[in-house]
Amino acid sequence: MTTIEAIKKQSRGDKPIEPLIFEKHVAGVIGVDFPPLDVSETEVPEGVAGGSTTLPSFGQHDVMAHYTHLSDRNFSVDGNFYPLGSCTMKHNPRINEWGAALPGFACLHPLQDDDTIQGALRLLYETRTMLEEIAGLHEVSLQPAAGAHGEFTALKVIRAYFADHGQPNRTVVLAADTAHGTNPASCTMCGASVETVRTVNGQTDLEHLKEVIAIIGAENIAAFMITNPSTAGLFDANIKEIADIVHEAGAKLYLDGANMNALLGRVRPGDFGADAMHYNTHKTFSTPHGGGGPGSGPIAVTEELAPYLPIPQVMMADDGSFYLDRSRDKTIGKVRSFICQFGVLVRCWSYISACGPKGLRNVSETAVLNANYLAAKLCTTYSMPFFDPKNGKFCAHEFVTVPQTLLDKGVTLIDIAKRMIDYGVHPPTMHWPMHDCLMVEPTETESKQALDSFVDVMLQIAEEISSEIELVQQSPLESDIARADEVAAARKPILTFK
Amino acid sequence: MDYTQLNITQRQEMYDTVGIRSIDELFDAIPSEIRCDDGLDLMPALSELELQRSMAEMASHNHGAHDMSCFMGCGAYDHFYPALIDQLISRGEFLTSYTPYQAEASQGSLQAFFEFQTQIARLTGLDIANASLYDGATAVAEAALLAINTTRRKEVLVASTMHPEYIAVLRTVLSDLDIKITMLDATDGVISRATVEAKMSDAVAGVIVQSPNIWGQIEDWDGCFEEAHSVPKTAGIAVFNPIACGMLKTPGACGADIAAGEGQPLGNALNLGGPYLGLLSAKEAYTRKMPGRLVGMTNDEEGRRVFCLTLQTREQHIRGAKATSNVCTNQGLMALRATMFMTTLGSDGIKEMATQSWHKAHYLAKEIAKLEGWEMKYNGDFFNECTFTCPCDVTKVVEFCKSRGVLPGVAAAGRRMQGLSTGDELIIAVTEKRTKYEMDALVALLSEVSA
Contact by Cβ (8 Å): B157, B200 = yes
CB pairs under 8 A between A and B: 714
Average pLDDT value for residue range B393-399 = 97
Backbone angles phi, psi at A15, to 5 degrees: -110, 105
Contact by Cβ (8 Å): B298, A494 = yes
Which of A56, A290, A490 has its CB closest to that of B95? A290
User: Is B319 in contact with A185 (Cβ distance < 8 A)?
Assistant: yes
The CA distances from residue A157 to A222, A277, B171, in Å, are 11, 11, 14
CB < 8 Å from A in window 229-258 of B? 245-250, 253
Q: What is the DSSP string of A311-375?
A: S-EEEE-TTS-EEEE---TT----SSSSS--HHHHHHHHHHHHHHHHHHHHHHHHHHHHHHHHHH
Closest-CA residue of chain A to B322: A185
Is the CB of residue B285 less than 8 Å away from at least one CB of chain A?
no
Per-residue pLDDT, B192: 98
CB < 8 Å from A in window 75-114 of B? 75-76, 78, 80, 82, 84, 86, 88, 90-100, 102-109, 111-114
Shortest Cα–Cα distance, A124 to chain B (Å): 11
Judging by beta carbons within 10 Å of its beta carbon (0-12, 13-18, 19+), is residue B86 exposed, middle or buried? middle
Contact by Cβ (8 Å): B307, B297 = yes
3-state secondary structure at position B162 = coil
* pTM for this prediction: 0.98
Domain B69-80+346-450 superfamily per CATH: Aspartate Aminotransferase, domain 1 (3.90.1150.10)
- State the complex-level ipTM: 0.98
User: Is B345 in contact with A31 (Cβ distance < 8 A)?
Assistant: yes
Report d(CA A250, CA A15) in Å as an integer.
59
Grade residue B415 by pLDDT with cuts at 50, 70 and 90.
confident
- The closest of A64, A281, A93 to B344, measured between CA atoms, is A64
Q: Residue A261: list chain B partners with CB under 8 A.
A: none
Question: What's the mean per-residue pLDDT of chain B?
Answer: 97
Is the CB of residue B117 less than 8 Å away from at least one CB of chain A?
yes
Is the CB of residue B59 less than 8 Å away from at least one CB of chain A?
yes
Domains of chain A by range and CATH?
Answer: 21-31+55-73 (no CATH), 96-353 (3.40.640.10), 360-473 (3.90.1150.10)
- The closest of B341, B367, B335, B343 to B436, measured between CA atoms, is B367
Per-residue pLDDT, A11: 74
Is the CB of residue B124 less than 8 Å away from at least one CB of chain A?
no
Q: Which helix (H) or strand (E) holds A43?
A: none
Report d(CA A415, CA A19) in Å as an integer.
29
User: Is A106 in contact with B109 (Cβ distance < 8 A)?
Assistant: no
User: Is B336 in contact with A356 (Cβ distance < 8 A)?
Assistant: no
Average pLDDT value for residue range B398-423 = 95
Report d(CA A465, CA B376) in Å as an integer.
76
Domain with CATH 3.90.1150.10 in chain B: 69-80+346-450
Residue range B211-268, pLDDT digits in tens: 999 999 999 999 999 999 999 999 999 999 999 999 999 999 999 999 999 999 999 9
Q: E-strand spans in A91-145?
A: 139-141
Per CATH, the number for B84-341 is: 3.40.640.10
Which of B25, B96, B348 has its CB closest to that of A77? B96
Domain with CATH 3.40.640.10 in chain B: 84-341
Which of A51, A148, A291 has its CB closest to that of B97? A291
Cα diameter, chain B:
84
Digitized pLDDT (tens) for each residue of chain A, 498 residues in all? 566 666 666 778 767 789 999 999 999 999 999 999 999 999 999 999 998 889 999 999 999 999 999 999 999 999 999 999 999 999 999 999 999 999 999 999 999 999 999 999 999 999 999 999 999 999 999 999 999 999 999 999 999 999 999 999 999 999 999 999 999 999 999 999 999 999 998 899 999 999 999 999 999 999 999 999 999 999 998 999 999 999 999 999 999 999 999 999 999 999 999 999 999 999 999 999 999 999 999 999 999 999 999 999 999 999 999 999 998 999 999 999 999 999 999 999 999 999 999 999 999 999 999 999 999 999 999 999 999 999 999 999 999 999 999 999 999 999 999 999 999 999 999 998 999 999 999 999 999 999 999 999 999 999 999 999 999 999 999 999 999 999 999 999 999 999
